[in-house]
Structure 1
C-alpha cells in the first residue's frame, strides 16, 4: 500500500519533531499529521513545515497504543501518556477504567448516553443539533489529537439526516486511528480528503444496519488502512464481510480482545484483525 512504503521517511520526520520544543499552545488549531502525509504522497512535500511544533503531541513514533474491544462499537484506547478513550460510549459497555475522553454517535441509544459519568473529562458528541455543518472537534488531550469528519445518518423513517454521525480520528504515537461510527453511506471525495491517512480503522460489519457489506468493503479498501478492526457485528457471519476482500488482504482471528499497536509493528499487508468478542 502506498503509504506503507513511506514509513521510513515518516519516522525520520517524527524523530525530528520530537526534539525539545516550546510547549504546545492548546489555543492554536493543531495540525493533522494524517492529512499532511496523505496529501504529500507520493511527492512527499510536507506542507506547513512551520507548524511542525504542533505535531509534538502526535509524533512519538516509537511508542505503543493499546486497543481493547469492549463490545458493540466501543473500543477502549490507552495512549502512551495515559490518556484513555472509549468510542461510541453508551454507559452499558464498561471499560476497565473511567475514560478521559468518550466519543458518541446518535444513531441509536447503544451509541451514546446523555448522562455520562461526571468524572469523564471530555464528552465529544458526533452530532450537533441545529448546526448545518455538523459537529466540529479539534481537541488535544495529553499526547493525543482528536478530530472528526461528519457524515449523514439514516433516520427511523429512512430519510437521511445531515451530519448525524461522525468519523472520529485519534492521532497519537505517530498513528492515525479512525472509528467509522454508525456510517450509513459511502464517503464523498471531500470526506476522504478530510480523513487523510488511517493506519488503524474500526469498521462496522453488521451487513446492513449501518451499510451493506459490499459498500462497507469499498470504503475500507479506499481508506487503505494497514490494520482493520471489525465491530458492530450482528446478523451475517463475519466471513461474509471477509469474503468481500481479495488476495491483497490478510485475516487474523485473535483469542484476545486487546491488541498493541505502534507505527513500527503495523502489518505490511492490509490485515483484518478480529478481536475476541466481535
Structure 2
C-alpha cells in the first residue's frame, strides 16, 4: 500500500488577525498538496502535522522517472512526464509541439504568450489571469503531474501595472519542482517566494527589459537558487548580458540540443544555467 506523507501547515494567528481569505474545510481538503512549498523557512511559527487520508487529493506517487523538457521557441517549453502527460508553457499556437499537449499554460502579456483559440482537444487550458482582474488560482492534477500557479502583476501597453496579469506556473512531477516565470515584470515579494517554495528547475526570461532588466531578473534567480536554470524569451541583448550577472557560484553550459532530460538523481550539484539550442 502506498503511504503518502503529507505536510500541512497550521498558522498560529494572534487574536482575530486574518492573513488570507478564509477557505472552508471542504475546499482546503480538496486542494492537492504541494511538496515544493518551503513554508517553514518563511513562517517559522508554523506547526506541522503529518498524516495520510482519503480526503487529500494528490498526483500519482512520484517515481524515479525522467522529465524531458524541450524548448520550442520564445517562452514555450514542452514537458513530457514519466506518466505520459505533456505540458506546453506560455502556449500561443505558433510553436508546434511534437504531440497534442494534455495541459497548456498561458499568460496575458502579449499575443505571443497565449491564444484564445486553443485546440479543443487539449484537456486543461490554464490562463495565468482572470478576466475580472482577480488572481488566477489553479490546482490541477493531471496523471503524475500537479500544476499550480502564483499570480504576479504585469505592465500594460500603456505602461501602468496591471494586477494579476501574469502567473508563475509550477509543475510538480517525479519529485521535481519546475517553475516557469512567464512574463515576470517585477521582483517578487516575500509572500510570493513562500508561495513558490522550492524550485529545482527554473525557466527564466532573459530579454533584458521587456520583462525585467538583467540585474533585477538575476536577483530573482539568485534568491530561488534552482539547481537547473533554463533561459527563454531572449530578444535583443545577447545572452552574455544575463550570464554576466552571476558569479562563480553558478555554472554555465550551452547545449547542442533543444531538449534536456531531468530527474532528481541527475540534477546538478551546483546551480547551473543551461542554454538550450534555439534560445
1:98-132 Cα shifts (integer Å, max 9, x gaps):
10000000100000000001110100000001143
Out of 111, 118, 123, the position equivalent to 1:121 is 123
Q: Which runs of structure 2 are paired with 1:138-149 in the superposition (5 Å)?
A: 138-149=139-150
Aligned partner of residue 51 in structure 2, secondary structure: helix
Q: Which runs of structure 2 are paired with 1:174-193 in the superposition (5 Å)?
A: 174-193=175-194
Counterparts of 2:53 and 2:150, CA distance in 1: 22
Counterparts of 2:189 and 2:61, CA distance in 1: 28
**How many corresponding residue pairs?**
252
What corresponds to 1:216 in structure 2? 217
1:152-183 Cα shifts (integer Å, max 9, x gaps):
00001100000000000000000000000000
Uncovered stretches (5+) of structure 1, i.e. residues with no partner: 1-14, 19-26
Counterparts of 1:55 and 1:244, CA distance in 2: 41
Aligned partner of residue 149 in structure 1, secondary structure: strand
Uncovered stretches (5+) of structure 2, i.e. residues with no partner: 6-28
Following superposition, the deviation at residue 47 of structure 1 comes to 3.2
Do the aligned residues in 1 keep the contact of 2:32 with 2:58 (CA within 8 Å)?
no
Following superposition, the deviation at residue 55 of structure 1 comes to 7.7
Give the CA RMSD over aligned residues. 2.1
| Runs of 4 or more above 6 Å deviation | none
> Given the superposition, is the C-alpha separation of residues 228 and 103 from structure 1 closer, same or farther in structure 2, using an over 3 Å criterion?
same
What corresponds to 1:107 in structure 2? 109
1:192-223 Cα shifts (integer Å, max 9, x gaps):
00000000000000000000000000000000
Q: With structure 2 as the length reference, what TM-score do the two structures score?
A: 0.86
> Given the superposition, is the C-alpha separation of residues 98 and 46 from structure 1 closer, same or farther in structure 2, using an over 3 Å criterion?
farther
Following superposition, the deviation at residue 48 of structure 1 comes to 3.7
**Structure holding more helix per residue:** 1
1:1-45 Cα shifts (integer Å, max 9, x gaps):
xxxxxxxxxxxxxx9639xxxxxxxx821110001xx234699x9
Give yes or no for the alignment of 1:158 onto 2:159: yes
Do the aligned residues in 2 keep the contact of 1:62 with 1:263 (CA within 8 Å)?
yes
- Largest Rg, 1 or 2: 2
What corresponds to 2:4 in structure 1? 17
